[in-house]
Each structure stands twice: as C-alpha cells, then as structure tokens.
Amino acid sequence: MAVMWPAQLPVWVRQDPRRKAEREVYERLSAALDNRWSVFYSRPWWGINSRGGEIDGEADFVVVHPEKGILVIEVKGGAILYDPVRDQWTSTDRNGVEHRIKDPVNQAMASKHQLLKKFAQSPLWPRSRVRMRHGAVFPDGDPPSSGPVGPHDRRLVCGATEFKYALDKWIESRLASHVDASRDNESGPGVDGLMAIEATIAAPVRLSVPLHRQVEVEMSMQDELLTGAQLLVISSVDGYSRVVIEGGAGTGKTIVGCELAARAARTGKTILFCCLSPALAAHVSRRLGTIAGLSIMTLSALAERKKIAPDEIWDVVLIDEGQDVDWGQWDLIESSLNPVHGYLRVFFDSNQAVYRSRDDLETRLQARSFPLRLNLRNTRKIALLTEKLYKGPLIQCVGPEGDMPVLLESPPTEALHCGVETVLTMVHEFLMLPTDIVLLVADEERAIKAAELLKLRKMKSTRAVLQEPGAIVVDTVAGFKGLEAAVVVMVVDHAVTSNQELSYVGVSRSRSRLVVVGNVQKSILGKAFDSFSSTEEDAASQGQSMS
C-alpha cells in the first residue's frame, strides 16, 4: 500500500459528488502501489509568468518513487470528448450535462513545471537531472487503442480499463527511460529529494497567534462583557437625584459616566462632566465628541469659569475620580448644580481615596451609593496582581485569562532605557500598534527623557492629554490615572514601588499586557509580585493534583 498524503480523505472530499473520480483514483493508487511510493493528493501551486503576472493551479496527484521518478497526474471523470474544430475539451456527467474543461494533459504539464521549480529551491534537491513526467487519468472512459488523444500522444493518457487493471504498469511506463541505460542522464529524486518534496508540498504548518492579535481578541471579549454589566447601574440611578457610584479600577466608572452624560443630553438637559486630570478630561471629550449642552472640564477649569460666570449651573453634574476631590472643592461643585432639578453623579474608588471614605462622602453629599463589583478592564492574570494592592470592597474579574504580568528587574540607572527598548521590541518584533502601548514613568523628568530616547529611535511619542495619532503615549503614573491602554510598560522607582496607591494605579491601567521595569525588591509592589507568584504556583499545584 502506498504512503498517502493525506492518509485519509477529508469528509468534505468524500461527500462532494464532483470529486468522485478523484476519490476513485486515490483509492486505486493506494491499493495498486507498494509502500516505496508516496502519493500526494490535491497539491496547489502558485507562480509568476514571464510577464510578471500571477499564475496558479493544482496538481490532482503527485506520485513519487525515490528511484523511478515523479509523475504528476490530472484526473477527469465522466465521458471525455475533444473537438479539434473548436480545440475544446468537454466532460459529460452522469446526468447528461456537458461541462467545458481545460486540456487535462496540459494542466498536468503546467503543474509539473511549476512544482519542479518549487522542489529545486530546496537545499535537499539533487543536483542531477530528476525524472519528472506528467499524464492524465480518465477513470470513466477509454481513449482509442492507438493514435493520439486529441493533440497528445496516447501514452500520456490512462483510460478506464487500464485504470482498473493496470494502473501501476501505466505509471511505471510513464517513468520508464526513453533511451538505453548507458545514455540515460535522468534519475529518481532519491531519499533527499523525497524529503524536499514533502517539505515543499506536505510540510505541517502551525500558525502562531501574534501578540497584537491576542491583545485584540482579549480586548474584544472585555468590551462585550462591559456592554451588559453596566446596564443595571445605568438604569438604577435614574430614580435618585444624588448618587455615589463606587468601584475599583477597571469596573467601568468612566464608561458609565459617559453613557449617563449622553443619555441626559438626549433629554435636553445641560451636563457638566468634571474631573481633576486634564488627560482624563481630554479622553472623555474624545469619547463623547461634541454634544449640545455638554461641558467637559477639569475642576481647576471649572473654578476659573465660575469666576467669570458665578451663576452658571447645569442640570446634571458628573464627577469622575471623586475620591481625589478635596473636601473644600465640593462647595464649588454644589454651586454648579441646578438646585431645584439637578442630578449629581459621583464616581469613587475606595482604594484610591486620599481624603475620606465613601461613607463620609455619602453623608456630605446626602447621596445614595451604587456599587460596581466586576473588573471588566484587566485580564484575570493582571487582576491577580492588582488585587494584592487593592484594599477596597471585593471586586471580581470576569475577563479573559491573559498572560502573566512580566517583571524585568533593572538597576535604577538602566530602567528607563530598558523600558524604552521593551516598547520598541513590542512595535518592531511583535507588530503592536504604537497607539496600543503606554509607557508610564515616575515623574515629569523621566517622561521627557523617555520621549527623547524614543525620538532618537525614530519613534513618535505623545502625552495622554493629546493622544496624537500613530504615537506611543508617554506619561507619569499619576497623570494616567483614570485611563487605560491595551499594553502598559511601567518604569518604576522607589517613589512608585513604595506607594500603594501609585503601584495600584500603574498596574491596573493595562487591559491585556503588563510589563514592570525596575527594582521592586523590599517594596510594596515587590511584595505584591511575590504574593502573586505564590498564588500562581499554588494554582498550578492544585491543577496538577486534580489531573
């Protein structure tokens, strides 16, 4: 029995009535030839002609013997007819339907020449002339016993009778020498040539999923979760004039705020969306666009505006990152809210609360609290690390598993350069889009230096507040508060690693991939990494014991 490629025909081939003749030839070749023969079924080829145009085709069968040679076969079923007047071949199927077909012998010949070019590119291909022939098999009809078959020699064609009783002999005759042995300069491909053929038309291929595609898929899964998870809170707050919406990083506070602002605008209300960070205000502006009646600004900008227009009020006031608002600034916010029909929505992260607890704020504002308890930003592996730095109410991550955060230990003098090289590697080797990557550093001085290093490497950078197209965002950890990115590379120093809030803010910005660069030993962030690693090892051990 011949060595068949594939070893079994796929189901779709076995069930396709148009491939009946090919199935019969496959089975006959398998039975008629011994295991010194290799048979490759349905091998496509692609090439370029002398005019630079693309050409392509498919060899129905490539039959190989290491000593005897290679035969490329084209198969045509049905009743075959050649009309010399029109130079047209046709095949009539079992239902009497006539189909125009290409010249089968020419098809086999074209496949032979193109495949030979491919085989010859392999370093294993013999330097000597390899015997490679072509022919056609008609399993449903016999050509004339003598004379040509259309424009071709009768010996190039195997008819139904020969196919049934002497297919192996026809193949051997096609590969026989046309001269005596002393003058024959052709030979079979040999074992190395057979290996070259297998590598060219039968090599296994495993497509690796590139990093940029993994990130894209994970973010898509997170976005689908986000749509439904926040609807309950969005619909629930409508009945209350004052609410505090509490949740940790990644629970979708800003997204809920944007949706509430858009819904209020559709009802004709005036809206003020306010936060401390200029970068976050710019992000919200880009997300919502221009909407009639909507004002988006920082608290400092609001203070300046109220100096000019002290009586200006809005029907709906939304405050993002409310945990960072100074106690004295709430009077400014209250003076901006319609005192009769106003709605106040404050978004609050207990883990980042600098001045007070949520209960204090609820009392101060006389507001109703609504919790957000699902982390929909981070992958589960990143969330495991953020949980080690989180002290607020329990939240659950329901996103994709993702990859483990990476810690690149680096001396303080080399950390920034290492971080920049990591970013460049992601762009150039892993083909990540620059706009999907954020480089976070400890302070403004390092942010300026990082931008300079990227510029020297021909890489454009921008600040979070600008988000210029085609550029990598470089910003401070504190400046990126409230924002997120697909990939975060965070270069840390002692000021960051020893500060729980900054460590938490930094690692929780990443949606899919997180790389921390620097020295984290004997620090709050370092302990979080150590605890995270222990959790991973315990989970792996449990998985092995269960298996």
Q: What is the pLDDT of residues 290-325, one digit of tens each?
A: 999 999 999 999 999 999 999 999 999 999 999 889
The architecture that CATH gives domain 240-372 is 3-Layer(aba) Sandwich (3.40)
The model's pLDDT over 336-368, given as tens digits with 9 standing for 90+, comes to 999 999 999 999 987 765 445 556 777 888 888
Burial 462-495 (b: 16+ CB within 10 A, else e): bbbbeeeeebbbbbbbbbbbbbbbbbbbbbbbee
Contact 272, 295 (CB under 8 A): yes
Task: Look at 16-30, 124-138, 520-534 and tell me which has the smallest mean pLDDT.
Answer: 520-534
More confident residue, 433 or 547: 433
What global pTM score does this model have? 0.69
Task: Let me know: does 73 contact 108? Beta carbons within 8 Å.
Answer: yes
At residue 418, the pLDDT reads 97
SS (H, E, C) 65-106: ECCCEEEEEEECCCEEEEECCCCEEEEECCCCCEEEECCHHH
Q: Is pLDDT above 90 for 508? A: yes
Instruction: Give the best-scoring range by mean pLDDT among 326-330, 384-388, 389-393, 508-512.
Output: 508-512
Model pLDDT for residues 27-58, shown as the tens digit of each residue: 999 999 999 999 999 999 888 888 888 889 99
Q: Which CATH number, 3.40.1350.10, 3.90.1150.10, 3.40.50.12780, 3.20.20.150, labels domain 3-202?
A: 3.40.1350.10
Q: CA-CA distance, 506 to 66, in Å (whole number)?
A: 63
Look at residues 143, 148, 170 and name the one whose alpha carbon lies nearest to residue 61: 170
Domain boundaries, the chain: 3-202, 240-372, 406-544
* Distance in angstroms (rounded) separating the CA atoms of residues 75 and 524: 72
Q: What is the mean pLDDT of the chain?
A: 90
Same fold across 240-372 and 406-544: yes
pLDDT, residue 352, reads 60
pLDDT at 62: 97
CATH 3.40.50.300 given to domain 406-544: yes
Q: Are 466 and 282 in contact (CB under 8 A)?
A: yes
**Span 82-90, mean pLDDT?**
93
